[in-house]
Amino acid sequence: MAVIDRTDAPFDLDVGDFYDQYRMMFLIRRFEEAAERQYKAARIGGYCHLSSGQEAATVGAVSALAEDDLLITGYRCHGFALARGVPPEAVMAELFGRAHGCAHGRGGSMHLLDVSRGYYGGWGIVAGQLPIATGMALSLVRQGKEQAVLCELGDGAVNMGAWHESLNLAAVWNLPVVFMVVNNLYGMGTSVDRASAEPDIFKRAGAYRIEGERVDGDDLEEVEWATARLLRAAREERKPAVLEALTYRYRGHSVADAGLAYRTRDEIDERRLQDPLVRTRESLEARGVPPEGLDALEAEVEAEVEAAVVYAEGDAAPSVDQLAAGVYAAGSEEQFERMRPGSPAGEEELVFAGGLGR
Amino acid sequence: MSGSSVAAAPAPASGVETMTYREALRLAMRQEMERDERVFVMGEEVGLFDGSYKVTAGLMDEFGPDRVRDTPISEEGFVGAGVGAAMLGERPIVEIMTLNFLLVAMDQVVNHAAKIGAMFGGEVRCPLVIRTPNGAGNQLTAQHSQSFDGWFAGTPGLKVVAPANPADAKGLLKAAIRDDDPVLVIENLPIYKEKGEVDLDPDLVAPIGRAAVAREGSDLTVVAHSFATVRALKVAEKLAAEKGVSLEVVDLRSLRPLDVETIAASVAKTSRVLCVEEGWPSYGVTAEIAARIQHACFDDLDAPVERLGMAEVPLPYAKELELAAMPTEDRIERAALQVLELVR
């Protein structure tokens, strides 16, 4: 574990910020619990990857982003979307596959996004987002912008070729991107020790001569400070970096996985003793925030999550007439006109009638 | 290839048992691993986790972590490792969690495995098996719902099989393992739980390159593979019962090599044909079948060859949209009646 010199912190958190961050962590926890219930009630389909236990890593890192910095993640992305400010209603509606979901009901749990907040999506193929993050950083450089990209990935992604290729490109081109490895110790059911020849993932940055740092991912401040420092170096000095946040996911890989085939219940219980929510709350109380205020906050967040579920339930399904919306850019209709004669049933009815490019 | 490593054949099991498609695949692997020490399995979560879709459940306990090998998430790496091991005479079975993830290893499959026999003048072979499911319909969205069967079947040097029932799952996987060329075995998520009768005989293999007439009929031929066959058979039963229409269903089983003879014999009998697939029809499996049929059966046809597949969109998440995009039984039924000119 890298020892963080707290006197070197890039800024001082005031209690107000800290309070808001705790609120967000608590919101993510309750949101994930609600998502699991709704999945089991068959109101959410597909894959549903929960992040309970990882709230400090998520909120700490996102808090360090400047307003115009960019974010891109893998598929365990509910918490990142919420932390970046996507309203819980829009995230829950997406999980329900509804028209006012943040991806219009077309992406679901794995493909949340909000371009207005600089969140360029949850991506479903392991490590697929890394080269894309690199390209986003390249674009920032080309446009002369002093912004950075935070690219989240899981520990399972670091043995893909795309990891190596992206880190190398980012390093040789001096791109403003921080690759944040959320190391929850298991890539699906395979522990980091079984999957990685160098399980100290942050050390791999050395192979590209860029900075690598490991933090206690359950310590909100430590995550935020380290992320802030690395993002600042990316923005101001165009230095890419690897940040490894050690954390733990309480639930299985997805809701369909009980999460007990490859780890023990004791291990999970032991990790719960260091729950980032409890730690953060204790820290707030130690700074003089009265417990009653925190209790009230928790009740408020629970109501907010419940309201998101009610909103999602009441939202309309996307129109089937719009099946082909977005597949091609507006104005492409004419290019496809001459493909129609004799086209097979699937295409004829659903692509051409479905409205290209809307 | 040395035969010395082939173990003595175990006492032949006999009889027929009802089992799921998933269990039939497992039986095929177990039998071939018992028969031939060169056979080993590797892939993500195949061992300790019992397989992402539980196809390899119990095999690590039975054969040990050397022969049932968990891999990191590194598709290009371990598919390529399968190629290398196969070149030295091993019989690797590489499991890819879904066909969508095989795209990450496309270079090793298409640019390497498929080229070895020809490019090196037949000096070395690559008896590799890649097993992977495709399948849409569970709201898995755009990156996890695709059927690229046609891409692989269009690649010289590869063989591609796609069983639609448990008996063929066992027979074709065994044939793939024993084959001296790289074979892609395309499985299917919705069929994993389907049950059927399977002959336990360890020496029974299904020949690669042979289609099957899965249901005899006289009015219309439906050509399909994998899950589309399951759907087509249900539609055939329904139309027989409700409209007195007789559909013949040809289950391709093998996409490359392709059994044009069986297709053509059926079309010669019925004179009308609907080709169905779960993938996108443009440049797809049904495109190839239609081309073959117009050439082989030009004088037999009473109606244009029709095709039905996935709507040509990246599959959306919302259930309503997903259903609207898929070649469902309702849509197969309507397309069949259109070819029969019973509806407009």
Contact A190 B314 (CB under 8 A): no
**CA–CA separation, B258 vs B159, rounded Å?**
10
Q: Say if A1 falls within a structural domain.
A: no
Does the pLDDT value for residue A7 go beyond 50?
Answer: no
Question: Is there a catalytic annotation at residue B237?
Answer: no
Query: Stretch A116-145: mean pLDDT, rounded?
Result: 98
**CA–CA separation, A346 vs B309, rounded Å?**
5
Same domain for A33 and A175, yes or no, is yes
Does the pLDDT value for residue A256 go beyond 70?
Answer: yes
Q: Which residues of B touch A342 (CB under 8 A)?
A: 304
Same domain for A336 and A243, yes or no, is no
Same domain for A140 and A212, yes or no, is yes
Same domain for A269 and A326, yes or no, is no
**C-alpha dist (Å) from residue B142 to A127, A151, A186, B135:** 16, 21, 25, 12
Same domain for A306 and A253, yes or no, is yes
Question: Is there a catalytic annotation at residue B144?
Answer: yes
**C-alpha dist (Å) from residue A104 to A325, A327, A357, B149:** 10, 13, 15, 29
Where does residue B268 rank: exposed (0-12), middle (13-18), buried (19+ CB within 10 A)?
middle
Q: Say if A348 falls within a structural domain.
A: yes
Same domain for A346 and A215, yes or no, is no
Tell me if chain B has a CB within 8 Å of the CB of A259.
no
The pLDDT assigned to B300 comes to 97
**What is chain A's mean pLDDT, rounded?**
92
Q: Say if A164 falls within a structural domain.
A: yes
CATH number of the CATH domain containing A100: 3.40.50.970
Catalytic one of B23, B44, B75, B333: B75
Q: Tell me the residue range of the domain where A330 lies.
A: 320-352
Q: Which domains does chain B have, with CATH numbers?
A: 19-199 (3.40.50.970), 212-339 (3.40.50.920)
Which DSSP symbol is given to A202? G
Handedness of CA B113, B116, B122, B124 (dihedral sign): negative
Catalytic one of B44, B144, B248, B322: B144
Task: Name the pLDDT band for A339 (thresholds 50, 70, 90).
Answer: confident
Could you give the number of structural domains in chain A? Answer: 2
Same domain for A220 and A335, yes or no, is no
Does the pLDDT value for residue B3 go beyond 60?
Answer: no
Q: Say if A3 falls within a structural domain.
A: no
Contact B317 A111 (CB under 8 A): yes
**CA–CA separation, B146 vs B164, rounded Å?**
17
Substitution target from A188, A198, A347 for chain B, most B beta carbons within 10 A: A347
- A229-240, pLDDT tens digit by residue? 999 999 999 999
Q: Say if A358 falls within a structural domain.
A: no
Q: Say if A300 falls within a structural domain.
A: yes
Q: Say if A5 falls within a structural domain.
A: no
Query: Stretch A195-207: mean pLDDT, rounded?
Result: 97
Report the percent of chain B where pLDDT is more than 70.
Answer: 96
Query: Stretch B227-238: mean pLDDT, rounded?
Result: 98
Look up the ipTM and state it.
Answer: 0.92
- B103-122, pLDDT tens digit by residue? 999 999 999 999 999 999 99
Same domain for A304 and A208, yes or no, is yes
Same domain for A204 and A124, yes or no, is yes
Q: Say if A4 falls within a structural domain.
A: no
Number of H helices, E strands in chain B: 13, 14
Same domain for A201 and A347, yes or no, is no
Nearest to A346 among B73, B281, B338 (CB): B281
Same domain for A296 and A245, yes or no, is yes
Same domain for A282 and A179, yes or no, is yes
**CA–CA separation, B60 vs B69, rounded Å?**
8
